[in-house]
Amino acid sequence: MQSHKNTATPADRRGVGVREDRFGRWVGLFWSCIWLFWLVPAYVQWWHHRDQPAAWLGAAAVLAFMVLHVVHFMCNSAAFGPDSPPIRTNTGNLLRYAGLVILAVVSCWTLGQAASATVAFVGIVAMWTFRVPVAIGVAILTGAIYVFASTHVSGWTYDRGTLVGLGFGCIAVGFGRLASQRQEALQRSRLENADLRVREERNRMARDLHDILGHSLTVITVKAELAGRLIDVDLDRAKAELADLERLSRTALGDVRRAVEGYREISLAGELARARESLTAAGIKPVLPNTVDEVPEDLREPFAWAVREAVTNVIRHSGASICRITVNSQAVVVSDDGRGMAASGSGNGLRGLQERAAAAGAVLITRAARPHGFELVMATPQAADHVPSTVMSEAS
């Protein structure tokens, strides 16, 4: 059987990260450009006054503002991704933002209110350039400056639309940033929980292997040393120790195998398929369900263990000719027409299955089938008293 493992190398993971980063930058480029149409009125104003040098200066300032805005957005595009880092007001961000402020002032000074959209951009850009308290303060200050200019500067009129655009833009960017941070926090929490589960499972495996092998290997070592000393002194005693050594080794090997079986994933559908194969090989007619879709996910694993243990007992002890398995949303029933309760025994397998049933919140029942045979039932507590006994003659 081939082992399916995650064979992704660090280089593969770096390649995926590079592709995701490149995709994020293209998305950032698109979103940073799509809103620049708000600056079209500035160029309309330039066209009408293109015979004036100040208009050309304003047009150049608006163009530089657009380019710097795109560059600044792409440099901070990670702030809107699922793994968004915390905002850090570094030197690069401060210099770019200062450049945007200067270009907005020049644009409004030369082109007038037609370039006032740059003021709204300055307020919105602050939301993903600075930390929240500073960003809110800058946005409010920007709005106040615009209101002052529109009411005191000659040729300007109060335009509520610019303020509304500034407000909604800040709110949208702020909520987008918060959503990204919450998503990143959830992802980090999932990774931490997964890492914790892995550590707990490793600890369990280490504990189990220590408990299983610690005592056995210690005794094996002592007996091997004793046999080595006795082989030239008392050959019969040495042979007895070696025979005991072989028995202990086989016992330890069986313990390890059982432990490994406990670590493997087990599925109800897979156990039913193996049951069909093993029962047929043993000359026992299997009567099995075709689907397990109605069984809830939380019951499929304990039901699978019930099928495995019950079928093993049927093959080893029952002397049956028919084995019937039925499953529904609340119970699994394994019945045979063999020798019945006397042949079933009550060894470690059934005790372990009883423990698994209790851990899953289910009930394990063993009883006689009709007219003869043995039946094992694992069911939810609500259904345990209502599972009818199987009449094996109906399964033939």
DSSP string, 286-345: EE--S--TTS-HHHHHHHHHHHHHHHHHIIIII--SEEEEEE-SSEEEEEE-SS-HHHH-
Rounded Cα distance, 362 and 300, in Å: 12
**Total length of the chain:** 396
Which residues partner with 332 through β-bridges?
A: 327, 378
Rounded Cα distance, 232 and 68, in Å: 91
Residue 228 has pLDDT above 80, yes or no: yes
Q: What is the mean pLDDT of residues 168-191?
A: 76
| Distance from chain centroid for Cα 92 | 36
Q: What is the mean pLDDT of residues 127-149?
A: 82
Residue 377 has pLDDT above 90, yes or no: yes
Query: Residue 24 has what pLDDT?
Result: 55
CA angle 51, 54, 58 (to 5 degrees): 110
Query: Residue 285 has what pLDDT?
Result: 92
Q: What is the mean pLDDT of residues 264-290?
A: 85
CA angle 8, 14, 20 (to 5 degrees): 110
Query: Residue 17 has what pLDDT?
Result: 46
Residue 332 has pLDDT above 90, yes or no: yes
User: Helix (H, G, I), strand (E, B), or coil: what is residue 388?
Assistant: coil
Residue 223 has pLDDT above 80, yes or no: no
Q: List pLDDT tens digits, range 5-20.
A: 444 444 444 444 445 5
Query: Residue 75 has what pLDDT?
Result: 78
Tell me the average pLDDT of the chain: 79
Query: Residue 14 has what pLDDT?
Result: 44
Q: What would you report as the CA-atom Rg of the chain, rounded to the nearest whole angstrom?
A: 38
Q: What is the mean pLDDT of residues 301-310?
A: 89
Cβ-based neighbour number of residue 91 at 10 Å: 7
Query: Residue 9 has what pLDDT?
Result: 44
Specify the long-range contacts of residues 301-304, CB closer than 8 Å, at least 24 apart: 301/266, 301/267, 301/268, 301/360, 302/356, 302/357, 302/359, 302/360, 302/362, 302/378, 303/268, 303/327, 303/332, 303/378, 304/266, 304/267, 304/268, 304/270, 304/271
Judge whether 215 and 251 are in contact, CB under 8 Å: no
Q: How far apart are the first and last CA of the chain?
A: 35
Dihedral angle over CA of 251, 256, 257, 261, nearest 10: 140
Q: What is the mean pLDDT of residues 351-375?
A: 87
Q: How far is CA 111 from CA 163, 202, 300, 306, 372, in A?
A: 19, 69, 72, 81, 100
The pTM of the full predicted model, rounded to 2 decimals, is 0.41
Cβ-based neighbour number of residue 341 at 10 Å: 15
Residue 209 has pLDDT above 80, yes or no: no
Residue 331 has pLDDT above 90, yes or no: yes
DSSP state of 391: B
Q: Which of 86, 103, 87, 106 is nearest to 95 (CA)?
A: 103
Residue 374 has pLDDT above 80, yes or no: yes
Dihedral angle over CA of 293, 300, 5, 255, nearest 10: -150
Query: Residue 345 has what pLDDT?
Result: 52
Tokens of 396: 């033939």
Q: Which of 367, 290, 375, 283 is nearest to 332 (CA)?
A: 375
Categorize the per-residue pLDDT at 39 as very low, low, confident or very high, splitting at 50, 70 and 90: confident
Q: Are strands 363-368 and 285-287 parallel, antiparallel or unpaired?
A: unpaired
What is the residue-wise DSSP string for 356-379? HHHHTT-EEEEEE-BSSSEEEEEE
Judge whether 391 and 381 are in contact, CB under 8 Å: no
Contacts of 119 (CB under 8 A, 6+ apart): 104, 108, 142, 145, 146, 162, 166
Tokens of 130: 């600075």
